[in-house]
A = this chain, B = another copy of it.
Amino acid sequence: MLKIGIDLGGTNIAAGLVDESGTILLKKSVPTGASRPKEEIIDDIAALCRRIVGEHGITLSEVQAIGIAVPGGVDEKSGEILFTPNIPFSGINICEILSKKLDGKKVGVANDANAATLAEVFCGAAKGADNAVMITLGTGVGGGIVIDKKIYSGSNGLAAEIGHFVIQMGGEKCGCGRRGCFEAYGSATALIRMTKEELSTCFMTGEATLMAEASKISARTSFDAFKKGDAAAARVIEKYTDALANGITSLINIFQPDVFIIGGGISGEKQFLIDLLQPKVDAEDFAKNAKKRTRLCTALCGNDAGIIGAAFAV
């Protein structure tokens, strides 16, 4: 049976027709226009669903269900969106509204990071796993938890805020208001901060570095310079991966999942990143001597994870 998965982002609404294996048969997207009234945005979502089935030459009745992944907290049972900081959907029951516009079709909702984790479990890096934890390393650190092949979102739909456990009491200020959160050390933003800090030290000591040649500092700057043998970049990468591995090991000690997945921009470093992290995790994993250990890997579903996960969540 086919499902429609929708990834509702702050910039674009992407939707796809997804089969049982997680393959996207047809994909379309439109701009979100997040500043518009929510009614207009929802009409666009419904139109996108009808367009997809039409272009694939089927009718809506041939679609089993529709899943929508949203960037915010949701109540999966009731279908209500609890809050979405970047789109005007807080407090509405997206499932009821969308179902009415789409011939009473069953509609389910999930948080986008949770949906992405589910996608990895059904057809990505954690295929076949029962339990998986995923972090996405981007502007912040997002997270998703899958237990027994189901999204775990806690008792209020707001669980898996994996970026917001403290790894350094009194440490760097985090956007959530706390100090020392994993996000403040493990995100791409944190890596950029560490790169700039190291560069300012290098300028003071007069040490020239390959990092300094970058026209604009990004999360790739230190990784690229490190690969070319830059000593200052090596210090940055050591510091960053120390903190990242520290947080990952803590989460493994709590969850001992089959698979721990790293997604987001930084995960583009793929096996190079895993090879840096694995020995650090090995040294401190509480289950390091266990017969079965958590496998650490990078995500595979990429930008399609939201669409696929939304389809599997419903």
Contacts and interface: CB of A to CB of B under 8 A. Distances in A.
Given A164-B253, A165-B253, A167-B169, A155 B82 contact: no
Contact of A255 (B73, B154, B283, B286): B154
A241 interface: no
Contacts of A243: 169
Nearest to A129: B155
Given A166-B167, A167-B166, A169-B168, A255 B159 contact: yes
Main secondary structure of the interface of A (DSSP, over half): loop
Contacts of A102: none
Contacts of A73: 287, 290
B286 A161 contact: yes
Interface string A124-167: 00000111000000000000010100001111111111101111
A1 interface: no
B155 A292 contact: yes
A105 interface: no
Contacts of A164: 250, 253, 286
Count copies of this chain in the complex.
Answer: 2
A246 interface: yes
Given A167-B167, A246-B166, A251-B165, A257 B155 contact: yes
Contacts of A258: 155
A178 interface: yes
A293 B73 CA distance: 13
Nearest to A247: B166
Nearest to A153: B256
Nearest to A251: B165
Contacts of A157: 256
Interface in A90-120: none
Interface string A202-246: 000000000000000000000000000000000000000011001
A188 B253 CA distance: 21
A130 to B, nearest CB: 6
A286 B130 CA distance: 27
A258 to B, nearest CB: 4
A158 B286 contact: yes
Interface string A167-185: 1110100001110000000
A156 B254 contact: no
26 contacts: A82-B291, A129-B155, A154-B255, A154-B256, A154-B257, A155-B256, A155-B257, A155-B258, A156-B256, A156-B287, A156-B291, A156-B294, A158-B256, A158-B286, A159-B255, A159-B256, A164-B250, A164-B253, A165-B165, A165-B250, A165-B253, A166-B249, A166-B250, A167-B169, A169-B171, A254-B254
